[in-house]
Amino acid sequence: MDFELLLVILVDGLVYSSYLFLVAVGLTVIFGVQKVLNVTHGAFYAFGAYLTAYLIGLWAKGGLPDAGGFFLIFISAAILGVVLGVIIERGLLRFLYDRDEHIAVLATFAAFLVLEDVILLIWGTDPYLAFQPMSLLGSSEIAGLVFDNYSLTMIVLTFVVAFVLWYGLNRTQFGKILLAVIFDREVSMAMGINVTKVFLITFIIGTFLGALGGAYHAPIISVQPGIGVEVIVLAFAVVVIGGMGSIPGALIGAIVVGISRAAAVHLFPEVELFVIYGIMALVLIFRPEGLFAPIKARKI
């Protein structure tokens, strides 16, 4: 195998890993803290993509500079993080924390279906295209191939998000509170931590991350009905591989899957589909808790 091909596989793999990480990290944050397998996450992604593509379209129609698209990406994600996060957490999940975890899966699946229909009601069935930010950034040549710079910025964004989350969790007071809640919710409450507030903030962060994934991808994809379904399946695979609730796990899981898939597409395209789920199956066989699952304290 030549060096150029290796380099191309690495770049392609990292771009795809970034996509996977951005869609999976919010899911793992919410599960890590709240122990909720949040199927609604796919709808957060879709909402992020739709709102961003819609706003970028309006922005372009108004003759405003394309660079504003980047501002709209983060604004859309932030608005959706707060609005959808509060609605779903306060309106649905808070009633389910003491119930079996399977109930939350079913309830969030129902909410996901409702939100998918809400998207159809708001934006209809026409796909939205918002290529302006991608066109704005132009392209670069790597190993004789042209890569669009926008996709390359996803790699940077991924590492920024991963670092901010790691720092927030390990170096801030809120992070320490979160760790305490993750470790033992009841004891945290007994120690005076407002767990309700922690849950709400965590869910808003998770929702923001889901919406950010969609918002940042909007300029690359055709934003159309059903995109949330595709994403949630991939996100689950990455989270399962990395370990439910582990942020480093999501990052490593995304990189493993992304680079393996890129290698498959270049070398054995017929197994491209198999690779992701093949890795997931192997992890489930040999390390069912995932590669980086946090150690669980056994309660007596």
Partner 1 sequence: MTSAISTSTVRLVGVAVAGALALSAGAALAQTVKIGTPTFLTGAAAPAFGIPAKNGVELIVRGINNGELPAPYNTKGFAGRQVEALIYDEAGGGTKQVTEMRNKVQKDNVDAIIGIISSGTCAATTALSEELKVLTIQTVCGTTRVFEELNKDPKYVFRTINTATANNVSAARYIAAKMKGKVKGITGINQNYAWGQDSWRDFRLAMATLMPDVTATKKPQFPKIFSGQYGTEISALSRAKENLVHSSFWGGDLEAFIGQSSARGLFKRKLFVLTVGETVAYRLGKKFPQGIMVGTRGPYGMYVANDPSPINAWFQKEYRKAYGEPPSQPSYQYAQGYLAGKFAYDDAAKKAGKFPTTEQVIASLTGATFPSFVGNVTMGLSKGHQIVTDDRWGVTVWDDKKGEMVLEDVVIFPPGCVNPPNGVKSADWLKGGMKGAKC
CB of 163 to partner 1, least distance (A): 24
User: By CB under 8 A, is residue 41 in contact with partner 1?
Assistant: no
Give the count of alpha carbons within 13 A of 82, CB side only.
5
User: By CB under 8 A, is residue 5 in contact with partner 1?
Assistant: yes
CA distance 133 to 56: 9
- DSSP per residue, 64-96: --TTHHHHHHHHHHHHHHHHHHHHHHHHTGGGT
Q: Among 24-32, 51-59, 158-166, 223-231, which window interacts with partner 1 (CB under 8 A)?
A: 223-231
Binding mask 134-153 for partner 1 (x = CB under 8 A): xx---x----xxxxx-xx--
124 three-class SS: coil
CA distance 202 to 31: 10
Q: Which of 269, 295, 298, 300 binds partner 1 (CB under 8 A)?
A: 269
User: By CB under 8 A, is residue 15 in contact with partner 1?
Assistant: yes
CB of 142 to partner 1, least distance (A): 9
In Å, how far are 49, 81, 125, 154 from 219, measured between CA atoms?
8, 19, 18, 12
CB of 61 to partner 1, least distance (A): 14
**CB-based contact 154:21 (threshold 8 Å):** no
Interface residues with partner 1 (CB under 8 A) are 5, 8, 11-13, 15-16, 19, 120, 125-127, 129, 131, 134-135, 139, 144-148, 150-151, 217, 220-222, 224-227, 230, 261-262, 265-266, 268-270, 272-273
